[in-house]
Amino acid sequence: MLLSIKKSWKKTPITLRAAYITGFFTLFAVLLAWTLNWNSGKTIEQVSLTNNTDMAKGIVQEYFKLNVDSISEFNTVWCDLTSSGKNSEFYATYYHNQFTKYLTVFTTRGNVPENLFHRNSKGGYDLQGAHVLINDVAYFLCATRVGSGGFLDLDVFQYDGVNKLEMIHKEASLFQGHLWVMDNRIFLDGGNHRYELMYISDGFKLTNYDKRVQYLADSASHVLAYHIDGNDFKITYDGKPIQFTMIEDHYVNNEPITLAIDEQIIEDDNVIGVEPQQIRLLSRRGEFEYKQGFFSSLIPTGVGLKELSISFNYETWYRIKVLVENN
């Protein structure tokens, strides 16, 4: 059975793997969505939990009296916001007349669909919906990103099955923030920091996320991690130190690191005491595709010898040769 799982994982599209890995951070085969997503791999859209997209779209059109041709990019997630065991609610994001984005929530528990929440992006911000189940209680999440700084506001709601959604928690103004929902856990980044929004005792609390990405053999993903040992900056690949030699004014790795064309490299820059902007990762144009996530990843675009460049404090540069091989 283990062998069949490995074969199935190797056949999984690399973009789907990227979403899975960034979601669980231990590189155990799963999601993300957004793009976390936050769409999670995807960040704004999420995979529908049922096949009732057409039904949801019809409800939205009828309720708001919208012309079918005026709706675009309609994405739906069906869920159970009362934790009763039946997916009777759905939330949807869509564009109306191509310019204004909407996030709406409906329940179909009664004889007539009821709108529980409705918000639009006329103020120039982006919208994202998600939901989690924590301790057998469902919560709906609405994230908005505003302005050139991408300030993130996150509202957490509960539904009692009778009234409208009730907001029970808010996180405000995370600079360049993103929401990532994976495995019923809520992750945020912003202001060059990572967080987990945890339910503790009787409420939500924003906590610093300081865990490192763990490499798992045969996961089809590799981990490029940074470490501070005293005053020394060190780089590891799949848990093993990379050996460098100084050439002129920069370091070059003695042996190329390797990966297959259908694999990816996860960048673990979650170093305690080091701001993310102190470490900069660059690649030559066209050699890798960069996928943003709670932990971002690099996907090779072709086979052959590639190169990554890493700087620490913009002073010391490390050139890393990467050999991308066919399977």
> What is the per-residue pLDDT for 123?
65
Amino acid at 222: H
- The reply to whether 38 and 131 lie within a common domain is yes
Domain final residue, candidates 158, 181, 208: 208
- The reply to whether 111 and 68 lie within a common domain is yes
In a domain, 238, yes or no: yes
In a domain, 23, yes or no: no
> What is the per-residue pLDDT for 7?
41
- The reply to whether 120 and 169 lie within a common domain is yes
Domain final residue, candidates 147, 173, 208: 208
- The reply to whether 173 and 118 lie within a common domain is yes
- The reply to whether 136 and 244 lie within a common domain is no
- The reply to whether 59 and 192 lie within a common domain is yes
In a domain, 119, yes or no: yes
> What is the per-residue pLDDT for 14?
47
Half-sphere exposure of 153 (CA within 13 A, CB side): 10
Q: Is 129 helix (H, G, I), strand (E, B) or coil?
A: strand
What are residue 233's DSSP bridge partners?
228
Please name the residue that has the structure tokens 């990966």. 259
In a domain, 249, yes or no: yes
In a domain, 1, yes or no: no
> What is the per-residue pLDDT for 321?
97
Q: 72: domain range?
A: 28-208
Contacts of 178 (CB under 8 A, 6+ apart): 34, 36, 38, 43, 145, 152, 188, 189, 190, 292, 294
- The reply to whether 252 and 167 lie within a common domain is no
User: Which run of H or of E encompasses 310?
Assistant: strand 304-312
> What is the per-residue pLDDT for 167?
97
Query: What is d(CA 188, CA 48) in angstroms, rounded to the nearest whole number?
Result: 22
> What is the per-residue pLDDT for 19?
41
Give the mean pLDDT per block of 10 residues along the chain (327 residues). 40 44 37 32 35 88 91 94 93 88 94 94 84 96 87 96 95 93 94 93 93 87 92 93 94 96 95 81 92 93 96 91 94
In 148-178, which positions are buried (b, 16+ CB within 10 angstroms) versus exposed (e)?
eeebbbbbbbbbeeeeebeeebebeebeebb
Domain final residue, candidates 208, 237, 266: 208
Distance of CA 79 to the CA centre of its chain: 20
> What is the per-residue pLDDT for 51?
53
Name the domain count of the chain: 2
> What is the per-residue pLDDT for 40?
35
pTM for this predicted structure: 0.78
Contact 129, 103 (CB under 8 A): yes
- The reply to whether 182 and 320 lie within a common domain is no
- The reply to whether 183 and 228 lie within a common domain is no
- The reply to whether 95 and 229 lie within a common domain is no
- The reply to whether 40 and 161 lie within a common domain is yes
- The reply to whether 184 and 228 lie within a common domain is no
CATH number for the domain spanning 315: value is: 2.60.40
